[in-house]
Amino acid sequence: MSKDSSYIYENRIIPKGLLVAIGGNEDKEHDLQIFNTILSLVNKKRKSIEIITTASSYPEEAGMAYYKVFTRDSENNVGLMHISTREQASDASLLKRITTADIIFFTGGDQLRITSVLGGTPIENEILRRYEQEFCIISGTSAGASAMSKTMICGGDSREALRKGTINVSIGIGLIDNAIIDTHFIERGRFSRLMQIVSMNPSNIGIGIGEDSGIVIKGGCILKAIGRGITVILDGQHLKYTNVADIDSDEAIAIENLVIHTIVNGYGYDLCEKKYLRPYDLDRINRIESEGNSSENN
Amino acid sequence: MSKDSSYIYENRIIPKGLLVAIGGNEDKEHDLQIFNTILSLVNKKRKSIEIITTASSYPEEAGMAYYKVFTRDSENNVGLMHISTREQASDASLLKRITTADIIFFTGGDQLRITSVLGGTPIENEILRRYEQEFCIISGTSAGASAMSKTMICGGDSREALRKGTINVSIGIGLIDNAIIDTHFIERGRFSRLMQIVSMNPSNIGIGIGEDSGIVIKGGCILKAIGRGITVILDGQHLKYTNVADIDSDEAIAIENLVIHTIVNGYGYDLCEKKYLRPYDLDRINRIESEGNSSENN
């Protein structure tokens, strides 16, 4: 395989970075299951971590909570980025820190702040470039996870969410372009939000991450569940019928045949092949990968 | 067709009555869409209606609300049955009223009160007998709807409901034996409750009725949505895998391939064939039925 084509597979760029999306309200005090998983992904003793607090209305407070998590039991080099204006998102010294970070972490808050402040800025472009071209971890919780997808949910009451037009959608950072992420999913009963979105374009996969749960996405395809909660996958590919194009705003949506999965720690989903992955399947994928890596090294 | 075999189809007794299950919080003041549908099912000017308030902690109040609904704009003969003990549930005069009622309506409250007070009593037996052998309407809202199914959900927090053993299940009246009903479904985000139940035995169909929504079930099979909200159908027949038998209590449940539908006014579902029914399908079924009836009359 030539070096130039090595990121391309079936007309798709295969990103070299990893995404870790978290459903919010993750354990920050006890065994730090999710954060330990994130840290274990980087094979360095002293990791460089940048925390972006743009989503939060209380950036100092939010930043400090994650600073404590990432410095506990470690010699990591952790920086806080309280970026609240588009000017700051072009700052050269911040940009340099993004270029060298091993882990870039987005706190929760409001996903529209992330996209309206960072959208199209040098900081955002550098994050996208690094995710595509270099090994690094891009992680986010709650709003920081929702903003990862290209189509981003940014509002809508789940009690009314199976009525047409009740969910607000905007454009996210675009680290994921074949799925939509929703968070606090089980705890806030948000099934109907993703159902509306997927029914409007069944080619999208809906990913609903529960609290204290997360997913690691590798190569833009292989999704693996982490944490102690549940992630729900809504797959529209077998959808047979919906009235959504024929009804008026606020009318109730009929949907025939949406497929739903739940994945928990050890299980996964292939976003590209749209296929459920049991522990056995994930083991097989890991084996193939490590064999591939060792033959490359030979 | 002989008279004796006329209720049997594919080894199943076909009930002559109709069920109307309502998801709670139905409109009782404005256009009464759901109650007008119920009343329209009985082709009599002066209908006999009995309201059973057993589920409610405030039987007088609950009963009066529905008394007003059923007597508005009509000359109906409406009775209240405040049955709160098993003794009352054997009372001969109440039993006689059950035998002659056109519509028997269960208010909301706690479904365990319905089953613990009425279970196995002459009143319950008579309701089951009439539903099977005579044309009548058995209706209920909220707890009154949940109690209709043989397997009855009676508790469990939906935020924790995808962990094993978090949902309480008991035995309902048993008017429906191939499905489980949950209510206030969209508004309280109860998807995960039914997902747990269906994953534990995928032969069951989960029916999650939203507020101000209902379903009419005919012949024990053909379900038609009424009201202004949404009913969710969870179909486990295509379920490929679940870890539910292998995990401990309170562990998170992995589920592969649960099929979900939503039906709204004019749409339906065939509980026996496990098939989604679009308006066209329901029209066709109605046509076949009315042709059957007219040829029987000839």
Whether residue A201 contacts residue A229, with contact meaning beta carbons closer than 8 Å, is answered with: no
A5: in domain: no
Whether residue B118 contacts residue B140, with contact meaning beta carbons closer than 8 Å, is answered with: no
Chain A residues within 8 A of B162 when measuring between CB atoms:
186, 210, 230, 262
Give the orientation angle of helix A122-133 with respect to helix A92-100, to 10 degrees: 20
Domain that holds residue B136: 18-159+169-236+260-297
Kindly write down the DSSP assignment for every residue of A236-250, as one continuous string: -TT--EE-TTTS-TT
3-state secondary structure of A184: coil
Q: Which helix (H) or strand (E) holds A224?
A: strand A222-227
- Site of tokens 């009676």: B154
pLDDT (tens digit per residue) in A40-68: 999 999 999 999 999 999 999 999 999 99
B241: in domain: no
| A55: exposed, middle or buried (Cβ count in 10 Å: 0-12, 13-18, 19+) | buried
A96: in domain: yes
* Tokens encoding B182: 């949950």
What pLDDT sits at residue B295?
Answer: 60
Residue contact A188–B186, C-beta within 8 A: no
B248: in domain: no
A220: in domain: yes
B276: in domain: yes
- Site of tokens 């397997």: B151
Q: How far apart are CA A182 and CA A138, in angstroms?
A: 17
- Comparing CB atoms, the residue among B229, B252, B259 nearest residue A252 is B229
* Sequence letter at residue A261: H
Kindly write down the DSSP assignment for every residue of A6-49, as one continuous string: GGEETTEE--SSEEEEE-SS--SSSS-HHHHHHHHTS--SS-EE
Q: What is the pLDDT along chain B (298 residues), one digit of tens a residue?
A: 334 444 666 777 899 999 999 999 999 999 999 999 999 999 999 999 999 999 999 999 999 999 999 999 788 999 999 999 999 999 999 999 999 999 999 999 999 999 999 999 999 999 999 999 999 999 999 999 999 999 999 888 888 888 998 998 999 999 999 899 999 999 998 999 999 999 988 988 999 999 999 999 999 999 999 999 999 999 999 999 999 999 999 999 999 999 999 999 999 999 999 999 999 999 999 888 888 766 655 4
Chain B residues within 8 A of A254 when measuring between CB atoms:
262-264, 267, 278
pLDDT (tens digit per residue) in B184-208: 999 998 999 999 999 988 988 999 9
| A189 has a chain B CB within 8 A of its CB | yes
| B210 has a chain A CB within 8 A of its CB | yes
Q: How far apart are CA B219 and CA B174, in angstroms?
A: 14
Sheet strands (E) in A136-212 = 137-141, 151-155, 168-171, 179-182, 205-209
Q: Which helix (H) or strand (E) holds A62?
A: helix A59-71
| A259 has a chain B CB within 8 A of its CB | yes
A38: in domain: yes
A21 Rama class: left (phi>0) / alpha (psi -120 to 50) / beta: beta
B280: in domain: yes
Write the CATH number for B85.
3.40.50.880
Question: What's the angle, vertex CA B121, arms to CA B118 and CA B126, rounded to 5?
Answer: 100
Chain A residues within 8 A of B253 when measuring between CB atoms:
230, 262, 264
Total number of domains constituting chain A: 1
| B223 has a chain A CB within 8 A of its CB | no
The DSSP bridge partners found for residue A148 are none
Q: How far apart are CA B211 and CA B25, in angstroms?
A: 5
* Tokens encoding A145: 């996870």
- Chain length of chain A: 298
Q: What is the ipTM for the molecules in this complex?
A: 0.88
